[in-house]
Amino acid sequence: MTSPVQNPSPFSTFVELEGTAREVETIEALCATMVNGPRRLLPYRQAALVTVDDAGSVRVEAVSGVAVLEADAPLVSWLARAAKQVFVGDLAARLHVVSPEGLAPAESEEWAAWMPAHVLWCPLKNRDGLPFGALWLAREEPWQENEAVMVDRLAGCYAHAWLALVGRRRSLLPTKARRPVLIGVPLAVLLALLIPVRQSVLAPAEIVPVKPVVVAAPIDGVISHFQVTSNQSVRAGEALFTFDDTTLSAQAASADRTLGVALAELRQSTQGAMIDRKQAEKVALDQAQVRLRQTELDYARDLLSRITVTAERAGVAVFTDENDWIGRPVVTGQRILEIADPTHTELNIELPVRDAIVLTVGAPVDLFLDVDPLSPKPAILISASYEAEMTPAGTLSYRVRAAFPAELPPPRIGLQGTAKIYGERVALGLYLFRRPLASLRQWLGI
């Protein structure tokens, strides 16, 4: 009979965490271990690793449970501001509990939105005893003294592992030998920034048909069913979808009965006109009524003949899903679907305004499809809109169109990916710092 598996003791867990920290080979792996590993030893809701450089700049390196850290995320921005205030305080090198009262009013007011009540500050110290980073551990329950001791010991292990991976950057050259290097390296960097490179920009793109035939609703009504499915090949004259004919059939029947009444009244007035002059005056009015009722009947029958919509040409029926339309009321002229030629496609690119560069017709474009990102497809830019418009994603963008070479098979309609649009040749410095320079110009107003 086997004995039940027992939970590991805190001591064995602590030893295992120390061993893991000393075995990691990259800073990225160590960061993930530092924010996620201690949860095996003690409970907390969130952990963050923050570092500070010699200039006092604070950086959030990792957050527990987050694989890819967004530097401009609101939580990350708040953590950096709050940690910077702790680093400049008297307790930066000591293990202590951080409270909202110790922060600036702006960060203190936002504390409840981002953090639970109790935050433990665990400094990571270098060989001189100065903090180069810290672990930020947050949870709802107060921190106990025995937990703080374990965290402090574990932070010392993490700091040792960090310094072992990063090391101290000491120059191996004497002072006199470093002088040419100090002059030559910046000069080489400046010269490298003048190297001409092809400017390029990335933007989301989609394969769309060239001049598709738009199939709109010919009448007001409710679609009852589709004869085709999405992306199905259709022939010219083939039925696409049908409207519900209940209302139109009733209108046609009513108009037919009304016409019969008008014809009967016309016959009566025509016969009465032979013996009564007053009846003769009514004949013209009844004839007008007959023409009006006949027109109404013809109109009702014409609408009834349009309940089945057919394809004007052969191609592929492009629409979302038939269940989105069945039973849904539509009005005359409302777009239902498109008939596209699958052999004639082009690239529709939505270039955000903030990434816009100077574009010229004929510029090369590379398309990286999401289904095949390792095989770029070439295209040629054929047009770009002068005015930006809001996209469904809520981004102000220019609409750019690119054509595929005729000798290559066209991609399937509806595929999406990322387009790389090439522009003019510019200096490497402008290529690298174009967006910061644009933001600086807007901020300075020049």
- What mean pLDDT is reported for the chain? 84
Q: What is the pLDDT of residues 368-391, one digit of tens each?
A: 999 988 889 999 999 988 888 888
Distance CA 378, CA 400 (A): 15
- What is the token pair recorded at 196? 């001409």
* Residue 199 in this model has a pLDDT that exceeds 60: yes
DSSP 410: P
Q: Where are the domains of the chain?
A: 10-166, 201-208+345-444, 212-243+308-343, 245-306
Q: Grade residue 277 by pLDDT with cuts at 50, 70 and 90.
A: low
Per the model's pLDDT, the better-predicted residue between 74 and 194 turns out to be 74
- Cα angle, residue 393 at apex, residues 388 and 394 outer, rounded to 5°: 55
Mean pLDDT value across residues 300-313: 83
| Residue 293, H or E segment | helix 277-305
Mean pLDDT value across residues 81-94: 90
Q: What pLDDT score was predicted for residue 1?
A: 37
Q: What pLDDT score was predicted for residue 307?
A: 83
* DSSP-assigned states of every residue in 107-156: HHHHHHHH--SEEEEEEEE-TTS-EEEEEEEEESSPPPHHHHHHHHHHHH
Low-confidence winner among 123-132, 159-168, 205-214 (lowest mean pLDDT)? 159-168
Nearest to 227 by CA among 322, 161, 135: 322
Q: What percent of the chain has pLDDT over 90?
A: 22
Q: What is the pLDDT of residues 118-155, one digit of tens each?
A: 999 999 998 888 999 999 999 999 999 888 888 899 99
* CATH numeric code, 201-208+345-444: 2.40.30.170
- Own/partner pairs for 77-80, CB < 8 Å, 24+ apart? 78/107, 78/110, 78/114, 79/48, 79/50, 79/114, 79/136, 80/50
Q: What pLDDT score was predicted for residue 179?
A: 60
- What is the token pair recorded at 70? 């967004």
Q: What is the pLDDT of residues 43-70, one digit of tens each?
A: 999 999 999 988 888 999 999 988 888 8
> Dihedrals φ, ψ of 183, to 5°?
-90, -40
* Residue 402 in this model has a pLDDT that exceeds 90: yes
Is CATH 3.30.450.40 what the domain over 10-166 is classified as, yes or no? yes
Which architecture characterizes domain 212-243+308-343 according to CATH?
Answer: Beta Barrel (2.40)
Residue 200: Cβ-neighbour burial (10 angstroms; 0-12, 13-18, 19+): middle
- What is the token pair recorded at 386? 């002068």
